[in-house]
A and B are shown apart, each in its own frame.
Chain A
């Protein structure tokens, strides 16, 4: 995969998506506030591309990913899914049967391969479950399909009657991927699929996901907090901070020429496994803001070294500053930000 791969047509369009979790207090459960987990997010995913979604814990990455397939019910905005054949689907307006049909095409891969698989089911049962639920195949054809899937993700077919505990973390993640692929989805939300794995195993899973994307024409929303992983797998990257996407651009563009101060700080904070390459480290003061009580104006202003009075008062607008490069920052045109140079 190279980042120059031509993105296909529009697959998922998210506009002004919003998820507020109510904070309830007292016996009567009166709502005293809201956690703004996802706050007015607009983005789109194209066919055959991987959109990387990066952010620190609590920034709303997982909530955003799950809202796309309504594993969490959004409280506002629109999500439109454009299937391979057929008319665009308004995901948020779907009824139960409609939602079930949607989930044949949109699937999830989870972060923790140890808790995402039922320990009392065999691999065969786990991988065949979606096929049975959606009544796709039965009998011998079902077994054949499971074998095909296991083969696809690089697991030994002869192990299909074993239970998850018999597998290592990397192998379990492969089982989770096989399950997600069972229904031939078009779009997969991969929520931190490698962060629970060891470095040498991470590489195996990242390579597998790339192969699958190419072979099966898949599109991914790839959620991670490791920028090096994001850079490796993504065509485009969206950076989230306290419920909002603050910057979105083509992967090389974003890493070499970041336009949001948070992206710049995030890039500089990554420890680089090259003792000769010492980047000027920007240490952000303080911690990620609380989404239940975010700062006024631009949520990032208390930690931003470029912040001015205006940043405290006005919420910056989401603008396209260069073709395909979106950013929400008042001062993006005035400041010169440092990215990561490309080597080799």
Chain B
């Protein structure tokens, strides 16, 4: 059982201790990423998606702190380590970070160094983790740039990021992330800053490389359409917690948490008749600053029950095999299935 999973996150809590109080950015998150699969993580801004990713990479800096939880990661040697207990500046995490777990970020032009060439930046990583030989490193980089579909790698090797378009920069970031054959790729909104036609290219590229290299992917985005395309399983986050977890089909066809249901109704789709009215979710995502012990969605939920939902935090329960929901009322007749697209 444990062997199927590359990363097993249990009860992760990452808090930021601020003057105003404790910001509970990630407040009890559990999920596991199976080998060679893609877990999609979806949620609105401020729900803790990126902090979860940074916690896995151990790049949370004070005032932020992982206060609880375990991050069991299976290394390529087969050994299982708890990332949460590692020294964030120690040699173990530095060997894992970049080499076994790699990350690509939202804004490719801002994430690459403007004063180094593309080639230098990727070489740095290869020299650090794979080889000391500069010539061999350059070979690896050129091969990688070719694999991500950068036209004319030998020439682009000496280009600076400002000379490339956003889509090309994202390809370079992917080349950098994958240059050390990581077993886990964390993609934090990798296509949000790109145009749709370029987004389609990048999604296709990540999928191809995943098949080829056999890695797992944690794909973080707020775009439900992208998630439907790339993910095998989906975790829906709201206010620092996972509120629903299931395989992609179930999330889109038979969601049980009121937030997921409402979110799906709130987006206009291409197949609908034009016009009509969207069922929006009133209000805003609250700020999780010293949040009361209650379901985070209570204030915006239409079916919340007084005295129940606002009194304690609902547990994440398995209501059917592989389908976990964090809602007291998920079993009741109160939740309505989302209309099936005929």
Q: Which of chain B's residues have a CB closer than 8 A to the CB of A225?
A: 195-196
In residues 245-303 of chain A, which contact B (Cβ within 8 Å)? 251-252, 255, 265-277, 281, 283-284, 287-288
Q: Which of chain A's residues have a CB closer than 8 A to the CB of B203?
A: 271
Q: Is the CB of A199 within 8 A of B266?
A: yes
Q: Is the CB of A287 within 8 A of B165?
A: yes
Interface membership of B110, Cβ < 8 A: no
CA distance A252 to B342 in the complex (A): 18
Interface membership of B200, Cβ < 8 A: yes
Q: Which of chain B's residues have a CB closer than 8 A to the CB of A342?
A: 271-273
Q: Mark B222-237, 1 if CB is under 8 A from A, else 0.
A: 1111111100000000
In the complex, what residue of chain A is closest to B201 when comparing beta carbons?
A: A283
Q: Which of chain B's residues have a CB closer than 8 A to the CB of A270?
A: 196, 225, 270
Q: Is the CB of B276 within 8 A of A271?
A: no
Residue from the list A203, A234, A274, A341 in contact with B266, Cβ < 8 A: A203
Interface membership of A70, Cβ < 8 A: no
Interface membership of A6, Cβ < 8 A: no
Interface membership of A330, Cβ < 8 A: no
In residues 194-251 of chain B, which contact A (Cβ within 8 Å)? 195-201, 203-204, 222-229, 248-249
Q: Which of chain B's residues have a CB closer than 8 A to the CB of A200?
A: 44, 262-263, 266, 280-281, 285
Interface membership of A66, Cβ < 8 A: no
Interface membership of B274, Cβ < 8 A: yes
Q: Is the CB of B271 within 8 A of A232?
A: no
Residue from the list A204, A266, A271 in contact with B226, Cβ < 8 A: A271
Q: Mark B148-178, 1 if CB is under 8 A from A, else 0.
A: 0000000000000000010110000000000
With A3-B274, A231-B268, A284-B197 given, is the CB distance from A274 to B341 under 8 Å?
Answer: yes
Q: Is the CB of B278 within 8 A of A227?
A: no
In residues 202-252 of chain A, which contact B (Cβ within 8 Å)? 202-204, 206-207, 210, 225-229, 231-232, 234-235, 251-252
In the complex, what residue of chain B is closest to A276 when comparing beta carbons?
A: B341
In the complex, what residue of chain B is closest to A267 when comparing beta carbons?
A: B270
In residues 155-203 of chain A, which contact B (Cβ within 8 Å)? 168, 170-171, 198-203
Q: Mark B307-342, 1 if CB is under 8 A from A, else 0.
A: 000000000000000000000000000000001011
Q: Which of chain A's residues have a CB closer than 8 A to the CB of B252?
A: 273-275
With A57-B195, A275-B248 given, is the CB distance from A281 to B273 under 8 Å?
Answer: no
Q: Is the CB of A207 within 8 A of B277?
A: yes
Q: Most chain-B Cβ atoms within 10 A of its Cβ — which of A229, A232, A234, A251?
A: A232
Q: Which of chain B's residues have a CB closer than 8 A to the CB of A287?
A: 165, 167-168, 198
Q: Is the CB of B272 within 8 A of A272?
A: no
Q: Please tell me the size bucket of the interface on A.
A: 35 or more
Residue from the list A201, A204, A228 in contact with B268, Cβ < 8 A: A228
Interface membership of A1, Cβ < 8 A: yes
In the complex, what residue of chain A is closest to B224 when comparing beta carbons?
A: A273
Interface membership of A101, Cβ < 8 A: no
CA distance A284 to B285 in the complex (A): 37
Q: Is the CB of B249 within 8 A of A283?
A: no
With A228-B268, A273-B264 given, is the CB distance from A198 to B226 under 8 Å?
Answer: no
| A202 shortest CB reach to chain B, Å | 7
In the complex, what residue of chain A is closest to B230 when comparing beta carbons?
A: A271
Interface membership of B128, Cβ < 8 A: no
In the complex, what residue of chain B is closest to A56 when comparing beta carbons?
A: B195
Interface size of B by CB at 8 A reads 51
With A228-B269, A272-B225, A274-B228 given, is the CB distance from A2 to B284 under 8 Å?
Answer: no
CA distance A288 to B134 in the complex (A): 35
Interface membership of B45, Cβ < 8 A: yes
| B244 shortest CB reach to chain A, Å | 15
Interface membership of A10, Cβ < 8 A: no
CA distance A228 to B264 in the complex (A): 13
Q: Most chain-B Cβ atoms within 10 A of its Cβ — which of A271, A288, A340?
A: A271
Interface membership of A343, Cβ < 8 A: yes
With A204-B280, A232-B274 given, is the CB distance from A199 to B341 under 8 Å?
Answer: no
Q: Is the CB of B249 within 8 A of A198?
A: no
CA distance A228 to B224 in the complex (A): 12
With A225-B196, A343-B341 given, is the CB distance from A199 to B274 under 8 Å?
Answer: no
Interface membership of A344, Cβ < 8 A: yes
Q: Is the CB of B276 within 8 A of A232?
A: yes
CA distance A275 to B257 in the complex (A): 19
Q: Is the CB of B44 within 8 A of A274?
A: no
| A210 shortest CB reach to chain B, Å | 7
Listed A/B pairs (25) with beta-carbon separation below 8 Å: A168-B284, A198-B285, A199-B263, A200-B262, A201-B280, A203-B280, A206-B268, A227-B196, A228-B225, A228-B268, A229-B268, A232-B275, A232-B276, A235-B274, A269-B200, A273-B225, A273-B227, A274-B271, A275-B252, A276-B249, A283-B200, A342-B271, A342-B272, A342-B273, A344-B271
Q: Which residues of A line the B interface, CB within 8 A? A: 1-3, 56-57, 168, 170-171, 198-204, 206-207, 210, 225-229, 231-232, 234-235, 251-252, 255, 265-277, 281, 283-284, 287-288, 340-344
Q: With A225-B196, A270-B225, A344-B339 given, can you name 5 additional A-B contacts, CB distance below 8 Å?
A: A198-B44, A199-B222, A200-B280, A203-B281, A273-B224
Q: Which residues of B line the A interface, CB within 8 A? A: 44-45, 165, 167-168, 195-201, 203-204, 222-229, 248-249, 252-253, 262-264, 266-282, 284-285, 339, 341-342
User: Lowest 7 A-B CB distances belong to which pairs?
Assistant: A271-B225, A232-B268, A203-B280, A343-B271, A200-B281, A269-B200, A56-B195
